[in-house]
């Protein structure tokens, strides 16, 4: 009996030790996001602020000349700030109306059979790598814009503000559609039904009642779309022209057909050969870019908090319509002054309803057409170039095989997931299982995670270049690229895992505790297995992000076209391989073939993720 009692005490002590030890491990993983955010901010500021101080803060921000080769050199980033504003504004003007009308279509007008096809198609639009978008823009949009420019102005290469705006407008569609649709569907259904009961038509009920009620969520989608556009690098650098001068105002017809350079494009274009003050000035450009992204994130968080605090008074907000709705109301008042007969007024109302209905279907068709056109163009021009020689083991100037890049991509995915998945899962376990909801630690970790999620990939590349290559001395290598990507995908893994853990019923935990299981055992034996489908879906999405990443890897992993034999070898992934081929100009067929492989990988990952999500919903 004494021996049995001592074994019981020993087992109990061992279990208490493991509970305490793993609690510390979970807490340490939770603080990785905070530490990563602080390191990014610290090293960028340390390397960027001295350059700003030497140049002069005002001269740096408002100078209109960027000439590193002058004596003395001139570093003014105002042209790039204005270029970013022009291209982002153009993207918003194109993407926002299409995105919002498509979200309305998906929420209230889309037939079920079409929704099953259109919704996954939009998700696929979000998963297409930026480098593929950039290549599509270079090969399709640039020639079209060049032809239009020649017919309307004195000339132009097609590499312009308009081209970049159109491409970015397509790229921000998934963000705007997803969040707007979610916000529209979250509006109580009885508002719509009540409007119909009072005699409103279907389109009038949606646009006069539902859309104003969901306006804060729609506005949040626009803000995130702006963040996506202003932080884009690889697609923009392919089509914007990269001219380091003050862009011509797009208010003039000639201006939109002229080239420009954005903040992100400036960093990507010159970082590879910059040194000294020139290099530090590019890092300072990254600091300015982060400042813009921070403002955007703060706006988004403010709107989210406002939405959460005002759900109870949603009915009151229905009367507070936006400026567009007020403008429409003024039109109606203006029409009232003509004393139209009731029959005429009804006819006008029917015409407006038909216009809304037609616009909704038209914009949804544009969204679907954009996706199909991108995919069809890549596949039709790339499949024919998928020859056996492109899958040979070695790549050289005579045969730019993609096989080394495919193998390196596999290495990069495995190594990054080995770092990111345990940290992300353990962080989520701590947030959901080991802390009280709403605690300061939870708010701090989530804030850091949200900020990390909003940082552009080019900034991650700058940080990796400074910290891993410079401070740790890894050089361009597989390990430097994977560590940089680990920080990039960490917010995605944390978010999806956290939602998966929250979806597990509390009864499972209570049942495990009632049977004598401790918290740690219940987490690993009950909660995690139940949440595994959701966690796996997040890992698949993270894999897609790794496969499609380009900007961060150019600065950290390098571009060497051979299979990495060690963690410290410079390497080239599939997306970087495509970027190099498209940039060289004389390997366009091989670039198309590489784009096909990238698209097929992304499509497969999206289909698997959608299948798992459907299984979760059925479960």
Lookup: tokens for 492: 């995605």
Report the percentage of the chain scoring pLDDT > 70: 87
pLDDT exceeds cutoff 80 at 99 = yes
Residues composing the chain: 619
Backbone Cα Rg of the chain? 27
What would the DSSP string read from start to end of 156-170?
--S-SHHHHHHHHHH
User: For residue 594, how many C-alpha atoms fall within 13 Å in the half-sphere facing its CB?
Assistant: 31
Residues 478 and 572: their CA atoms lie apart, in Å, by: 9
Is residue 47 assigned to a domain?
Answer: no
**What is the CATH classification number for the domain harbouring 106?**
1.10.3720.10
Residue, of 192 and 265, whose pLDDT is higher: 265
Lowest-pLDDT range of 115-124, 298-307, 363-372, 413-422: 298-307
CB 125 within 8 A of CB 370: yes
Q: Which residues does 4 contact at the CB level (< 8 Å), separation at least 6?
A: none
The answer on 27 and 124 residing in a single domain is no
58: left (phi over 0), alpha (psi -120 to 50) or beta: alpha
In angstroms, rounded to a whole number, what is the distance separating the alpha carbons of residues 615 and 619? 6
| pLDDT the model gives residue 320 | 39
Of 99, 163, 125, 130, nearest to 231 (Cα)?
130
Neighbours of 276 (CB within 10 A): 10
pLDDT of residue 170: 93
pLDDT over threshold 60, residue 308: no
3-state secondary structure of 74: strand
Residues 375 and 464 grouped into a single domain: no
DSSP string, 29-42: HHHHHHHHHHHHHH
Burial class (CB in 10 A: 0-12, 13-18, 19+), 275: exposed
If asked whether residues 267 and 360 sit together in one domain, one would say yes
Full domain range(s) for residue 571 = 1-37+397-619
> pLDDT at position 12, please?
67
Looking at 17-26, 28-37, 71-80, 487-496, which range is the least confident one? Answer: 17-26
**Would you state the pLDDT for residue 250?**
62
Q: Is the pLDDT of residue 163 over 90?
A: yes
Specify if 452 maps to a domain: yes
Do 380 and 519 lie in a common domain? no
Name the residue with higher pLDDT: 255 or 346: 255
What is the SS3 assignment for 479-510?
A: HHHHHHHHHHHHHHHHHHHHHHHHCCCHHHHH
Q: Judge whether 510 and 605 are in contact, CB under 8 Å.
A: no
* 148, 212 contact by CB (below 8 A): no
Please check whether residue 229 is in contact with residue 174, taking contact to mean a CB–CB distance below 8 angstroms: no
d(CA 87, CA 171): 12
Average pLDDT score over residue span 258-285:
89
Residue 271 DSSP code: T
Residue 565 CA from chain centroid, whole number: 32
Q: Does residue 461 sit within a domain?
A: yes
Asked whether residue 330 carries a pLDDT value surpassing 60, the answer given is no
Residues linked to residue 74 through DSSP beta bridges, in sequence order: 67
pLDDT-derived band at 557, boundaries 50, 70, 90: very high
Per-residue pLDDT at 323: 42
Residue 312 has pLDDT above 60, yes or no: no
Mean pLDDT lowest for which of 12-21, 266-275, 305-314, 357-366? 305-314
Burial of 118 per CB tally in 10 Å (0-12, 13-18, 19+): buried
The torsion angle over the Cα atoms of residues 331, 332, 335 and 336, rounded to 10 degrees, is -140
Domain identity same for 29 and 133: no
Residues 379, 452 within the same domain: no
pLDDT higher for 596 or 396? 596
Mean pLDDT of 258-283: 88
Q: HSE-up of 401 (CA within 13 Å, CB side)?
A: 15
- List the Cα angle 432/435/436 in 5-degree steps: 95
Q: For residue range 49-98, what is the model confidence (pLDDT) as tens digits?
A: 888 888 888 899 888 889 888 888 889 999 999 999 999 999 999 999 99
Q: Which of 22-26, 205-209, 468-472, 541-545 has the lowest mean pLDDT?
A: 205-209
* CB-based contacts of 140, cutoff 8 Å, min separation 6: 373, 377
Query: Between β-strands 74-75 and 66-67, what pairing exists: parallel, antiparallel or unpaired?
Result: antiparallel
Strand, coil or helix: 544: helix
Higher-pLDDT residue of 218, 436: 218
> How many domains does the chain fold into?
2
381 plus 436 within the same structural domain: no
325 pLDDT more than 60: no
pLDDT at 246: 77
Q: Which residues pair with 260 in a beta bridge?
A: 241
Gap between the Cα atoms of 412 and 164, Å rounded: 30
> In terms of domains, do 420 and 369 share one?
no
Residue 231 banded pLDDT, cuts 50, 70, 90: confident
pLDDT recorded at residue 42? 92
> CA 205 to CA 81: how far, in whole Å?
41
Are the beta carbons of 441 and 435 closer than 8 angstroms?
Answer: yes
Least confident interval from 132-136, 246-250, 402-406, 538-542: 246-250
Calpha distance 502→498 (Å, rounded): 6
Domain boundary among 361, 385, 409: 385
What is the C-alpha to C-alpha distance for residues 233 and 547, in angstroms, rounded to an integer?
Answer: 16
Higher-confidence position of 108 and 156: 108
3-state secondary structure of 377: helix
Q: Are residues 85 and 14 part of one domain? A: no
Neighbour count for residue 495 (Cβ, 10 Å)? 18
Q: Rounded distance, CA 221 to CA 605, Å?
A: 25
Residue at 61 is within a domain: no
pLDDT, position 194: 83
Boundary residue ending a domain (354, 385, 416) = 385
The pLDDT of residue 319: 38
Q: Do 380 and 425 belong together in one domain?
A: no
Identify whether the C-beta of residue 66 lies closer than 8 Å to the C-beta of residue 266.
yes
With contact defined as beta carbons under 8 Å apart, do 423 and 29 qualify? yes
Which two tokens mark 410? 């596999």
pLDDT at residue number 333 = 57
Residue 316 is predicted with a pLDDT of 38
Residue 381 sits in the same domain as residue 405: no
Q: Is residue 51, in this structure, part of any structural domain at all?
A: no
> Is pLDDT of 458 > 60?
yes
pLDDT over 90 (residue 520): no
Phi and psi of 76, rounded to 5°? Answer: -115, 125
Is 271 found in the same domain as 124?
Answer: yes
Query: Could you say which of 385, 407, 436 is where a domain stops?
Result: 385
Cβ proximity of 227 and 285 under 8 Å? no
**What pLDDT score was predicted for residue 156?**
74
Q: How high is the pLDDT of residue 20?
A: 82
How confident is the prediction for the chain on average, in pLDDT?
83
67 falls within a domain = no
Cβ partners under 8 Å of residue 452, min gap 6: 33, 36, 37, 487, 488, 490, 491
C-alpha to C-alpha distance for 49 and 281, rounded to whole angstroms: 9
pLDDT band at 447 (very low <50, low <70, confident <90, very high): confident
Q: What share of the chain in percent tops pLDDT 90?
A: 27
Whether residue 390 is contained in a domain is answered as: no
Residue 56, in any domain of the structure: no
* Confidence bin at 314 (pLDDT 50/70/90): very low
Residue 357 has pLDDT above 60, yes or no: yes
């Amino acid at each position: 009996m004494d021996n049995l009692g001592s074994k019981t005490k020993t087992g109990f002590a061992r279990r208490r030790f493991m509970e305490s030890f793993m609690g510390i491990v979970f807490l340490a993983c939770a603080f990785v996001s905070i530490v990563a955010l602080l390191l990014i901010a610290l090293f960028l500021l340390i390397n960027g602020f001295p350059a700003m101080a030497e140049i002069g803060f005002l001269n740096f921000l408002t100078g209109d000349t960027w000439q590193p080769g002058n004596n003395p050199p001139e570093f003014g980033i105002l042209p790039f700030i204005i270029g970013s504003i022009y291209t982002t504004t153009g993207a918003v003007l194109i993407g926002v109306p299409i995105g919002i009308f498509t979200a309305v279509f998906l929420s209230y007008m889309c037939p079920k059979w079409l929704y099953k096809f259109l919704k996954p198609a939009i998700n696929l639009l979000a998963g297409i790598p930026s480098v593929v978008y950039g290549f599509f823009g270079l090969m399709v949009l640039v020639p079209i814009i060049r032809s239009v420019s020649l017919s309307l102005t004195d000339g132009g290469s097609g590499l312009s503000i308009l081209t970049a705006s159109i491409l970015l407008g397509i790229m921000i569609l998934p963000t705007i559609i997803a969040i707007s649709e979610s916000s529209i569907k979250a509006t109580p259904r009885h508002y719509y039904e009540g409007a119909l009961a009072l005699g409103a038509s279907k389109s009038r009920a949606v646009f006069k009642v539902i859309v104003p009620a969901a306006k804060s969520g729609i506005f949040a989608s626009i803000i995130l779309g702006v963040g996506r556009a202003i932080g884009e690098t690889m697609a923009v650098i392919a089509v914007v022209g990269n001219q380091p001068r003050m862009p011509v105002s797009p208010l003039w017809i000639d201006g939109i057909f002229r080239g420009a350079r954005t903040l992100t494009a400036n960093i990507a274009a010159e970082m590879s050969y910059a040194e000294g003050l020139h290099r530090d000035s590019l890092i300072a450009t990254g600091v300015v870019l982060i400042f813009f992204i921070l403002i955007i994130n703060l706006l988004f968080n403010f709107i989210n908090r406002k939405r959460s605090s005002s759900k109870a008074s949603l009915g009151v907000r229905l009367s507070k319509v936006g400026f567009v709705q007020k403008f429409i109301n003024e039109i109606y008042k203006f029409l009232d002054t003509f004393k139209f007969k009731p029959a005429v007024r009804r006819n006008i109302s029917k015409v407006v309803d038909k216009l809304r209905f037609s616009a909704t279907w038209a914009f949804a068709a544009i969204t679907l057409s954009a996706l199909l056109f991108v995919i069809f163009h890549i596949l039709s021009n790339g499949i024919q170039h998928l020859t056996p020689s492109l899958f040979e083991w070695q790549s050289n100037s005579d045969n730019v095989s993609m096989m080394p890049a495919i193998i390196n991509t596999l290495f990069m995915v495995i190594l990054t997931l080995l770092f990111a998945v345990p940290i992300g899962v353990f962080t989520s376990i701590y947030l959901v299982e080991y802390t009280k909801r709403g605690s300061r630690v939870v708010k701090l970790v989530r804030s850091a995670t949200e900020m990390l999620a909003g940082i552009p990939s080019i900034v991650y590349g700058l940080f990796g270049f400074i910290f891993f290559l410079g401070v740790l001395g890894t050089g361009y290598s597989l390990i430097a690229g994977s560590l940089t990507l680990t920080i990039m995908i960490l917010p995605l893994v944390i978010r999806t895992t956290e939602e998966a853990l929250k979806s597990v019923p509390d009864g499972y935990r209570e049942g495990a505790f009632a049977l004598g299981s401790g918290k740690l055992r219940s987490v690993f034996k009950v909660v995690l297995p139940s949440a595994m489908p959701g966690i796996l879906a997040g890992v698949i999405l993270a894999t897609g992000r790794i496969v499609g990443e380009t900007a961060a890897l150019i600065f950290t992993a390098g571009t060497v076209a051979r299979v990495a034999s060690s963690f410290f070898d410079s390497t080239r992934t599939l997306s970087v391989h495509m970027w190099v081929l498209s940039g060289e100009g004389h390997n366009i067929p091989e670039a198309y073939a590489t784009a096909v492989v990238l698209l097929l990988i992304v499509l497969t990952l999206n289909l698997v993720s959608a299948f798992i999500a459907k299984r979760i919903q059925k479960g």
